[in-house]
Amino acid sequence: MNEHVGPVALRPREVHFDFSHSPLHWIPGEPVASHAISGLNLILPLGERGFVEMFRRALPYVTDPELREQMIGFMGQESQHAESHNRAIWEFLQRHGIDPEPILTEVEYLFDRAISRLDTLPEQLRHRVVVQMLAAIAGVEHFTALGGDWLLNQDFEALQADPALTDLFRWHGAEEVEHRSVAFDVARYFGARRPRLVTIYLGASAGLPLGLIAVAWWLVRQDPTLRNMGPIKVFREVNSAMRRGVLPRWRLIGNGFASFVRADYNPEDTGDTAQAVAYLAKSPAAKMAHAS
């Protein structure tokens, strides 16, 4: 059962990760599962940059001081997430001979084009697009809260996973649980109704897992020990890892959708704030940052 600890003042936390000793297959004996989770390092920075951009554009229209404070804290945390995962891309992947620049350059180009296109729209239409994106962020944030709760409770130690990468994903997961209500509150503040939120979340439920599998396959193709593994084999390996509990099961996604479509849905019902805050207080990366 979740512990309700009341409102938490959101703030970005200084962290320092050392990936100099982290192996490419950071979950021993699970190369594809390692790549599936490592793929988050490629996907998350751009997504979080987009979240911050949409919140930045929405903030001037928010007059509720408490919600404004939560939005600012959310933006700070998401910016820190993006920076930490971006660092992991270059420090971790490049050290193992994987050059992420081609895929990152293409994605950055598409993102910059989308933002430029948004700025050319008439103000009223631009505002409508931002509100639509806020609704999308609310759906994605429910998905990331589910993932964050899974990361906090996954027994990576039993799998003998690399401590630095374990801490990176748990620290991020804990902050996703901590700020899980903000995007939903913002979307509702801007008038996003349940049918729109549910429709967008349905798309996220299908798109995000498939996107992660696609990125996992891209990483597998860069891995000299796995280059002969095709996409169907990667998909089967991911499913096998899910059944063994090394990766989140499809059931988690289904249960997440079932909870989101309920009329009484409350983001606070996903995860445990007390558990998240407790981990953030003991995260090795946070302790390392304070010691430096």
Per-residue pLDDT of 153-162, as tens digits, reads: 999 999 999 9
Which burial class, exposed, middle or buried, applies to 288 when counting CB atoms under 10 A from its CB (0-12, 13-18, 19+)? middle
Q: Dig out the tokens for 70 from the structure.
A: 């939560």
| pLDDT at residue 1 in the model | 44
Q: Which residue has the tokens 């948004």?
A: 118
Mean pLDDT of all residues in 268-275: 94
> At residue 4, does pLDDT exceed 80?
no
Q: Which of 152, 167, 195 is nearest to 288 (CA)?
A: 167
> At residue 89, does pLDDT exceed 60?
yes
Amino acid letter, 237: E
Mean pLDDT of all residues in 28-33: 96
- Of the two residues 4 and 36, the one the predictor is more confident about is 36
> At residue 152, does pLDDT exceed 90?
yes
Give the C-alpha separation, 167 to 156, whole Å.
Answer: 10
| pLDDT at residue 177 in the model | 96
| pLDDT at residue 169 in the model | 95
Q: How many CA atoms lie within 13 A of 236 on its CB side?
A: 5
Q: What share of the chain is helix, strand, coil (3-state, %, to 5)?
A: 70, 0, 30
Best-predicted range by mean pLDDT among 91-95, 194-198, 242-246?
A: 242-246
Mean pLDDT of all residues in 133-146: 91
Amino acid letter, 157: E
> At residue 78, does pLDDT exceed 70?
yes
Mean pLDDT of all residues in 271-280: 95
- Of the two residues 252 and 167, the one the predictor is more confident about is 167
Pick from 19-23, 39-43, 48-52, 137-141: least confident: 39-43
Question: Which pLDDT tens digit goes with each residue over 175-219?
Answer: 999 999 999 999 999 998 877 788 877 776 677 778 888 889 999
Sign of CA dihedral 33, 36, 37, 39: positive
> At residue 222, does pLDDT exceed 50?
yes
Mean pLDDT of all residues in 109-128: 91
Give the C-alpha separation, 48 to 64, whole Å.
Answer: 23
Confidence band of 261 (pLDDT split at 50, 70, 90): confident
Q: Which residue has the tokens 């299908």?
A: 206
| pLDDT at residue 105 in the model | 86
Give the C-alpha separation, 41 to 161, whole Å.
Answer: 17
What letter does residue 61 receive in the DSSP assignment?
A: G
Question: Which pLDDT tens digit goes with each residue over 280-291?
Answer: 999 999 888 776
> At residue 3, does pLDDT exceed 70?
no
Domain ranges of the chain: 31-291
> At residue 6, does pLDDT exceed 60?
no
